[in-house]
Structure 1
Amino acid sequence: MSHLEDGPEPDKGMLRRELLAARNRLTSDDVRRAAVALAARALELPELTHARVVAAYVSVGTEPGTLALLDALRARGVRVLLPALLPDNDLDWGAYAGEGSLAPIRHGGKMALLEPSGERLGPDAVTDADVVLLPGLAVDERGLRLGRGGGSYDRVLARLADSDARPSLAVLLYDGEVVERVPVEPHDRPVHAVVTPSGVRRFT
């Protein structure tokens, strides 16, 4: 459990800055080792063992690494969907066909994202997923996730809630990013589990 929160309701901007600063102190070896451990832990999830379709994402920079996990899922025969950022910050989706199928796309002045280069399947494609793996900066004891603030995954979660889809939701984080409390807004929805390099924690 992180010590980042002392009060009942931390400041969202300050918490994001602290978490990002901690990530930026990681070396490339730290990131690589964590990615291997994260993939191993995630692949133990029963939800992923039985999944036919998994919506995931490609990590960039010092985010918890996902490529090893994406390749392992694909090797199991799982259809892996990856996001492509739209101009309005919503997400389109495309199928993952290996690392060679990813293209770096720069959106404005932001860091380039690795997006699927093949056919676009539409924003509603995520509703076909049995499991949705979410990026984030932290998750708290209630299962509430702190994102980067762009709102893309808030739209994804709202789309899932508005459909008949009921996928398992898991966020991929480093160990120190499971915290006591994150700021909550009315539209926030809890995840079912958090996967870190040291293990899995479930939320009811």
Structure 2
Amino acid sequence: MLRRGFLAVRSGLTDDDVRASAAALAVRALELPELAHARSVAAYVSVGSEPGTLALLDALRARGVRVLLPVLLPDNDLDWGAYEGAGSLGPVRHGARTTLLEPVGERLGPEAVRSADVVLLPGLAVDADGMRLGRGGGSYDRVLARLARASADPALVVLLYDTEVVDRVPAEAHDRPVHAVVTPSGVRRFR
């Protein structure tokens, strides 16, 4: 029910709202010291009314950062491919789900995320403790578990709209807090 509420608010955003927020989000995210020093960033391509990521992906790539993007596997796990610009993306339909833009080049394997200095995570909300509410598919829960098993410790950053930073979201034992949230109006860090 909580997820539906956040999605309903997002569906009311205009294309202009999404574009303006994406530009501001990129500016704020690029101010993060973690991204300033990153050699490799695992990110994602926003879809629909999600906080826009393409401007940020292009800016990171222009800095010489290796940007990894997810490829959704049939079991909802994620493989990864390198982002080489908008031309390196292709639309992929996943069953009855929405069409995602995914890298069309070489697949690097699910473990490739371990090389990332920063992981930019999608979400619907984050709370005062840094707990992230995802869409419920479990793809990024698997990514975070994979990182923990490998003792990898990238900065975990979720990209959201300002109204999606809330007091509390439901959390389960497997959920992991993020280090920071970036919104169009600023950055909030968590312990």
Give me the TM-score of the superposition, normalised by structure 2: 1.00
Q: Could you say which residue in structure 1 is the equivalent of 2:156? A: 169
4+ runs of 1 displaced by more than 6 Å? none
> 1:125 is matched with which residue: 108, 112, 134?
112
Q: Give the count of matched residue pairs.
A: 191
Cα offsets for 1:19-53 (capped at 9, x unmatched): 00000000000000000000000000000000000
Distance, in Å, in 1 between the alignment partners of 2:60 and 2:105 is 18
Percent sequence identity over matched residues? 79
Determine whether 1:99 maps to 2:86: yes
Q: Which runs of 5+ in 2 are unaligned?
A: none
Cα offsets for 1:133-165 (capped at 9, x unmatched): 000000000000000000000000000000031
Distance, in Å, in 2 between the alignment partners of 1:174 and 1:51 is 24
Distance, in Å, in 1 between the alignment partners of 2:28 and 2:170 is 27
Distance, in Å, in 2 between the alignment partners of 1:113 and 1:123 is 18
Give me the TM-score of the superposition, normalised by structure 1: 0.93
SS of the residue aligned with 2:157? strand
SS of the residue aligned with 1:179? coil
Q: Which runs of 5+ in 1 are unaligned?
A: 1-13
What aligned pairs does 1:3-22 form with structure 2 within 5 A after superposition?
A: 14-22=1-9
What aligned pairs does 1:113-152 form with structure 2 within 5 A after superposition?
A: 113-152=100-139
Distance, in Å, in 2 between the alignment partners of 1:15 and 1:202 is 23
RMSD: 0.3
Distance, in Å, in 2 between the alignment partners of 1:15 and 1:36 is 27
